[in-house]
């Protein structure tokens, strides 16, 4: 789906097309497409009891990067993603959005949320249909992405005829068909079996490297966060804060054998050292 932006202000100027990632230069110098400052989110239940989900969150999403967000269960990762995408408003704090990202933020959820009464190609084209694109053009554009995800042969099939991995690839195709500037993903691979998950991870890595679309992924998997991310934002236990943002200095393209390298093992160890105490804290909160 494509989310409308809830940004309170805009920053920067429209950027040139992101077709050549290397031309963007040093990622630390890239402008921010989304910039969150001192975000707080408080939920109030039916009895009037307040629960802090996020407190003092500062985070930038840089143009052309893949940002992974990881943290213990219940720390507010999904809440933060929904705020970044304009699906929820913070209780306080600010979210600024680059002018060329307003209205061009797409979401992919863990539940693929496909429409069972629409054929595969019509699911892929749904965002374009909502945008008023004509039937012939939206089918053409949808077929481009179905081809890239290996689903073109199933264009006229129904969603329930697809495997779990194929449905999730269709969900990704639907989001990318809308030509987003930012793609936000909330544990889209969490329900897949390990083998299928690895294949879709490789699809994501390849598409990120080819398209230049800015991507943000919420995940519980250390390996997934590091394999895909240029940076990994590690969150604390509830109420969630950004504890640290780690750079991932691994060359691209990254593939399955990247997981077996000494450099990857060292990064995984460092990330787990940062998260382990927070995971134990989260477990105590759940008792």
**CATH code where residue 10 lies:** 3.40.50.300
| Whether the predicted pLDDT of 123 surpasses 80 | yes
| Whether the predicted pLDDT of 83 surpasses 80 | yes
Count of domains observed in the chain? 2
Q: Indicate whether 98 and 128 sit together in one domain.
A: no
| Whether the predicted pLDDT of 16 surpasses 60 | no
Lowest-confidence range among 55-64, 162-171, 276-285? 276-285
Higher pLDDT, residue 24 or 142: 142
pLDDT of 282: 77
Count the Cβ atoms, other than its own, within 10 Å of residue 177. Answer: 24
Q: Indicate whether 173 and 256 sit together in one domain.
A: no
Indicate the pairing of strand 66-70 with strand 231-235: parallel
Q: Indicate whether 17 and 88 sit together in one domain.
A: yes
- Mean pLDDT, the chain, whole residue set: 87
CA trace torsion 117, 123, 125, 127 (10° rounding)? 100
Q: Where are the alpha helices (DSSP H) in 66-193?
A: 77-84, 120-124, 126-130, 135-148, 164-177
Average pLDDT for 4-26: 42
Q: Which residues make Cβ contacts (< 8 Å) with residue 142, sequence separation at least 6? A: 121, 122, 124, 125, 128, 155, 173, 177
Q: Is 172 strand, coil or helix? A: helix
Q: Indicate whether 23 and 45 sit together in one domain.
A: yes
pLDDT of 1: 46
Please report which confidence band the pLDDT of residue 88 belongs to, taking 50, 70 and 90 as the band edges: very high
CA trace torsion 212, 251, 253, 100 (10° rounding)? -10
Q: Is residue 109 part of a domain?
A: no
Residue 147: domain span: 114-179
pTM of the model: 0.87
From 184, 161, 139, select the one nearest 1 (Cα to Cα). 184
pLDDT of 212: 87
Q: Indicate whether 140 and 221 sit together in one domain.
A: no
Q: Indicate whether 90 and 213 sit together in one domain.
A: yes
pLDDT of 63: 95
Q: Is 196 strand, coil or helix? A: helix
Q: Indicate whether 227 and 145 sit together in one domain.
A: no
Contact 274, 64 (CB under 8 A): no
Q: What is the pLDDT of residues 214-225, one digit of tens each?
A: 999 999 999 999
Q: Is 51 strand, coil or helix? A: strand
Q: Indicate whether 78 and 10 sit together in one domain.
A: yes
Distance CA 157, CA 119 (A): 6
Q: Is residue 99 part of a domain?
A: yes
Distance CA 93, CA 87 (A): 16
Continuous segment of H or E residues that includes residue 209: helix 194-211
Please measure the distance between the N-terminal and C-terminal CA atoms of the chain and give it in whole angstroms.
36
Q: Indicate whether 78 and 187 sit together in one domain.
A: yes
Q: Which residues make Cβ contacts (< 8 Å) with residue 69, sequence separation at least 6? A: 77, 80, 81, 216, 217, 218, 219, 225, 232, 233, 235
Q: What is the pLDDT of residues 235-275, one digit of tens each?
A: 999 999 999 999 999 998 988 899 999 999 999 999 999 99
Residue 239 CA, chain-centre distance (Å), reads 21
Residue 52 CA, chain-centre distance (Å), reads 23
Q: Is 284 strand, coil or helix? A: helix
Q: Indicate whether 158 and 59 sit together in one domain.
A: no
Distance CA 144, CA 152 (A): 8
Please report which confidence band the pLDDT of residue 117 belongs to, taking 50, 70 and 90 as the band edges: very high
Contact 220, 70 (CB under 8 A): yes
| Whether the predicted pLDDT of 197 surpasses 50 | yes
Q: What is the pLDDT of residues 132-178, one digit of tens each?
A: 999 999 999 999 999 999 999 999 999 999 998 899 899 999 999 99
Average pLDDT for 5-27: 43
Q: Is residue 202 part of a domain?
A: no
Q: Is 66 strand, coil or helix? A: strand
Q: Indicate whether 45 and 133 sit together in one domain.
A: no
Distance CA 83, CA 76 (A): 11
Q: Indicate whether 145 and 24 sit together in one domain.
A: no
Q: Is residue 91 part of a domain?
A: yes
* Portion of the chain with pLDDT greater than 70, in percent: 90
- The alpha-carbon radius of gyration of the chain (Å, integer) is 19
């Amino acid at each position: 789906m494509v989310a409308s932006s809830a940004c309170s202000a805009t920053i920067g100027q429209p950027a040139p097309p992101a077709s050549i990632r290397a031309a963007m230069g040093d990622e630390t110098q890239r402008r921010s497409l989304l910039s969150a400052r001192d975000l707080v989110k408080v939920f109030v239940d039916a009895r009037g009891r307040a629960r802090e989900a996020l407190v003092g969150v500062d985070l930038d999403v840089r143009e052309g990067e893949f940002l992974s967000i990881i943290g213990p269960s219940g720390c507010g990762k999904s809440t933060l993603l929904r705020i970044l995408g304009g699906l929820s408003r913070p209780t306080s704090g600010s979210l600024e959005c680059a002018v060329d990202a307003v209205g061009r933020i797409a979401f992919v959820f863990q539940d693929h949320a496909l429409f069972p009464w629409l054929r595969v190609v019509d699911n892929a084209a749904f965002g374009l249909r909502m945008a008023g694109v004509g039937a012939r053009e939206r089918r053409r554009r949808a077929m481009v992405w179905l081809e890239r995800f290996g689903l073109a042969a199933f264009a006229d099939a129904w969603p329930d005829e697809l495997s779990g991995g194929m449905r999730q690839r269709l969900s990704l195709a639907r989001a990318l068909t809308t030509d987003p500037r930012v793609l936000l993903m909330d544990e889209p691979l969490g329900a897949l079996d390990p083998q299928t998950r690895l294949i879709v991870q490789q699809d994501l890595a390849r598409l990120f490297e080819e398209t230049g679309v800015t991507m943000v992924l919420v995940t519980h998997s250390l390996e997934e966060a590091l394999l895909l991310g240029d940076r990994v934002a590690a969150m604390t236990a509830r109420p969630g804060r950004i504890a640290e943002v780690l750079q991932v200095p691994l060359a691209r393209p990254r593939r399955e054998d990247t997981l077996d390298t000494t450099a990857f093992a060292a990064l995984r160890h460092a990330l787990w050292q940062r998260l382990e105490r927070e995971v134990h804290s989260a477990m105590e909160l759940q008792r």
